[in-house]
Structures are given as structure tokens and as C-alpha cells.
């Protein structure tokens, strides 16, 4: 147990911390929670033409609540420590009854537990019950599953990345990317057709006259030795 000099020093620190927290809460009106959300926005109604403004205010209010709860907990711990000093039990762990080390009390004067039984060391495994029913969107994957051909994470990302990313062809996953249109994930996959030749073979309205459109897909098709030039129809 701390001696009289140490005890007086720790009591002085606790009382100073208590006054500081109480003054801070009084001056900032409990982190702004003394006023309503409508007063904070300066509008007649919290619902205006800018919904994002209300989202910002909600975030700030949630943050203020968290800060206020933290300070209230600190005040409660200080009050418990001061009460223990008055009872002569200060410095004894509430769990095992052993003396808390002087070093720990110097670092955390409001500590009521020894290092071994400190509740802050226990990692909570309590999770919201909703997580039992929620699945990760697209399975947390940006790749196609072998047995799934529907809309997945890869497709969602390809739609978004066509509007631009910070990557360049030099840093693309596609080693054969020649321009910004082909730097995305599997950018060379068939889009709108199944077989490669369907992208450059066309027919007239009757389906009788077949022609070959020598586009980029046609060039790649031939470069990969997938087609025979002798079989082309002029």
C-alpha cells in the first residue's frame, strides 16, 4: 500500500483530474449535447435540401456521446479511487485483494485492479446479433467463382472502375494492357458474346452473307493462332 506521502500525491492528482473533467464538461455543455440537433444545424428543420449535412451532424453527435461516456467513466473511476482512499482500501485489487504495484498506481491513479485482473485486457467477443444473418456482399471477393456466372464483386468493380482509377497501364494486373480501357480486372474477357469469333464475324439480315470485321478482337484471335486465314470468307 502507498505510504502517506504517495497517497497524498495520488489524491492530489485524482482531485485535479476530477476538477478538470467537470470544468470541461460544464464549459462545452457536455460536448454540445445540451442543445438539440436542430439547434446545432441552425435550421428550422433538421431535414433540408442537403441530407449530407444531417449525416455530418449525426456523426458528430455520435462522437460527442462516445467522448461523454468516456469522461463519465473516468469520473466514476476517480470517485471509486477517492472513496477507497477514505476507507483505507486504496491500492488493493478488487478481484484478488492483492496490492497493486506502485508503478501501476503512479501511471493510473484511478486503477482498482492489478495488472493480471485488469478488465481492459479482456477482449470482448460480443457481436451484434444481426451479424448472424448478414452475409458479406459478393462473398468479399473481386473474382468470379468457378461455379457462379451471375453478377458478383468483379462485375460491380468493373462497372465502377470504368470511370477511372489511380492506376496506369504500367501498374495494371493485365500485362498486355496497351491503354486505359484494358487495365481493369479481366478487362479482356468476353463482354456481350460467348465465343471470341462472335465479336468480329457478322451476317446480313438474312443470315446468309457472312463477313469478317478485322477489329482488335480479330487481331488477337489470329495472333493467338485460334483461327485459320485460309478459311476466311471474302
Q: Are 33 and 26 in contact (CB under 8 A)?
A: no
Residue 231, pLDDT above cutoff 60 = no
- Express the helix, strand and coil content of the chain in percent, nearest 5 each: 50, 5, 50
Given this model, what pLDDT does residue 56 score? 77
Residue 49, pLDDT above cutoff 70 = no
Structural domains present in the chain: 4-120 (1.20.120.910), 159-189 (no CATH), 196-231 (no CATH)
116-172 pLDDT per residue, tens: 888 877 777 888 888 787 766 655 555 555 566 667 777 777 777 777 777 776 666
Q: How far lies 87's CA from each of 81, 84, 93, 110, 117, in Å?
A: 10, 5, 14, 15, 22
Interatomic CA distance for residues 230 and 157, integer angstroms: 40
- Averaged pLDDT for residues 33-41: 62
Given this model, what pLDDT does residue 40 score? 57
Interatomic CA distance for residues 219 and 200, integer angstroms: 10
Grid cell listed for 135: 452475409
Residue 36, pLDDT above cutoff 60 = yes
User: With bands split at pLDDT 50, 70 and 90, how would you rate the model's confidence at 93?
Assistant: very high
Q: What is the pTM of this model?
A: 0.48
Of 8-12, 142-146, 207-211, least confident by mean pLDDT is 142-146
User: With bands split at pLDDT 50, 70 and 90, how would you rate the model's confidence at 216?
Assistant: confident
Given this model, what pLDDT does residue 27 score? 79
Residue 22, pLDDT above cutoff 70 = yes
Given this model, what pLDDT does residue 124 score? 75
Amino acid at each position: 500500500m502507498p505510504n502517506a506521502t504517495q497517497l497524498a500525491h495520488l489524491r492530489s492528482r485524482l482531485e485535479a483530474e476530477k476538477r478538470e473533467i467537470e470544468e470541461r464538461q460544464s464549459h462545452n455543455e457536455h460536448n454540445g449535447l445540451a442543445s438539440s440537433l436542430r439547434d446545432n444545424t441552425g435550421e428550422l428543420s433538421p431535414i433540408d435540401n442537403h441530407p449530407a449535412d444531417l449525416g455530418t451532424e449525426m456523426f458528430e453527435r455520435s462522437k460527442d456521446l462516445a467522448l461523454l461516456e468516456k469522461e463519465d467513466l473516468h469520473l466514476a473511476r476517480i470517485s471509486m479511487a477517492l472513496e477507497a482512499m477514505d476507507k483505507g482500501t486504496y491500492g488493493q485489487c478488487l478481484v484478488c485483494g492483492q496490492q497493486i504495484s506502485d508503478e501501476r498506481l503512479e501511471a493510473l491513479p484511478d486503477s482498482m485492479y492489478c495488472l493480471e485482473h485488469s478488465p481492459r485486457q479482456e477482449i470482448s467477443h460480443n457481436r451484434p446479433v444481426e451479424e448472424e444473418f448478414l452475409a458479406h456482399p459478393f462473398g468479399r471477393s473481386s473474382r468470379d467463382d468457378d461455379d457462379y456466372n451471375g453478377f458478383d464483386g468483379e462485375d460491380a468493380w468493373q462497372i465502377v472502375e470504368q470511370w477511372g482509377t489511380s492506376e496506369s497501364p504500367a501498374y495494371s494486373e493485365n500485362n498486355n494492357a496497351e491503354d486505359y480501357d484494358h487495365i481493369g480486372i479481366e478487362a479482356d474477357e468476353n463482354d456481350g458474346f460467348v465465343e471470341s469469333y462472335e465479336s468480329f464475324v457478322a451476317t446480313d439480315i438474312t443470315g446468309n452473307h457472312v463477313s469478317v470485321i478485322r477489329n482488335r478482337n480479330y487481331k488477337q484471335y489470329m495472333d493467338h493462332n485460334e483461327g485459320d486465314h485460309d478459311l476466311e470468307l471474302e
